[in-house]
Structure formats: C-alpha cells, structure tokens
Structure 1
Amino acid sequence: MTSKALVIALALLASPVFAACNEPGTGTKDTPIFSPPLGAVVTGTGRLQFHSAPSAHCAMAGVFVIPRDHLVAYAETRDGWTSVMYARATGGGVTGWVRSSRLKHTGTVGPQ
C-alpha cells in the first residue's frame, strides 16, 4: 500500500462514520448527566429512531418509537441525546439513545 493510500485509509477509519458505537466514557465531553428515572413522552411527527450510542451513526435498524409512546429517561448528554427505555406492552423492553428534542418530560417517575 502506498503512503498516500495508507493516509487516506487511516483518515477514513478515524472518521465518525466508522467510529465504534460505544457508550460515552466518563470524563469526556459526551459524559451523560444522570438523573432519577423520569417519565417522558415522544413528541413531534414520525418515528423516533433508537441508537445504540449517542451518535447519528449508531442507529438500531428497525427500532423506533412513535409520537405519544411513553419512555423512561435515565440520562442526557450535553449535545442533545437521552438514554431511554421503552417497555413493550407484550413484555420486555428496549434500551437505547434518542434525540432529546423529541421528548417531553411528564413529571412522573417512570412511564404512566
């Protein structure tokens, strides 16, 4: 591999598109601010996509909630992501990250 090709390959691998979808580390600017579990409802229109980490590049294929769905919010990042859990009516649940701007806190602890 030529040195030019190596530089391009390293630049691509270092880009956010190829970044690992991991939880943010403590002591970083992306560290979430934790709170007691709070009830939240999905607002806006259309699907709200779940992500495995607080990054647009980490979408969980086929996992989303819709307006008026109730979630439990656990933590928020300073750049607009909230760690949530959705409890399915059939049992079990899904955890992930969603955009904070689509949530409205209900004033309850947990979903209604």
Structure 2
Amino acid sequence: MAEPTQTPHQTSGHAVYRDLAATDEFHRLRKAYRAFAIPWTVAFLAWYLLYVILSIWANDFMSLKVVGNINVALVLGLLQFASTFLIAWLYSRHAAKALDPLARTLERRYDAEVGR
C-alpha cells in the first residue's frame, strides 16, 4: 500500500518547524501555556481527589444535610462542574491575553516561510 504524500511543511521534521521552535516567541508561548496549564491541572486534580477521598472515608461528613435533602456530597459534586467551567473561562482569558498574540506572530512567520 502506498504511503500518503505530504508536502514538506506538513511534517514536524521540516526546517520551518525547527526554525520556529528555536524562536524566543515559541519559548515564551510554551512557558506562558505551561505557567497556566500545570498549576491549574494540579489544583483541579487535587480538588477532584479530595472529593473522591471524602466520598470514600468521610461518609458522615459527606452525608451532612445542607438544605432539605441536599447534602455536602451533592454540593461538592456540583462544585466540581462549576470549577471546571471556571478554569475553562480563566484559560480562555489567559489564552486571549498571553497565548494568542504569540501564536499569531508564529503563524505569520510560518506563512511567510511556506509562501502563503
């Protein structure tokens, strides 16, 4: 079976990618992404793990009634959804402010290199 043909700029080993990866903008883009993604991922996973641990070993606490039949477990479970949306919103703001301008600069360089 024949391998699909690719134009040179579609492979990650092409010189244009190596050149862009060596730029200061690319390193700043990676650093800005990691500065957001790593701490928030760790925070969310710790928060989720806390919920799981409480569900397993703190039954009395998790079954405490807050209002009516709504208990602590339900409130914390719903807060998992809220924190997910909050982190997504924060990431969107971070990306628009810190990541997108750098990515656009790199995209313009890429387009100039491949002749678009």
TM-score, scaled to structure 1: 0.28
1 or 2, which has the higher strand percentage?
1
- Which structure's relative contact order is higher, taking Cα pairs within 8 Å and 6+ residues apart? 2
TM-score, scaled to structure 2: 0.28
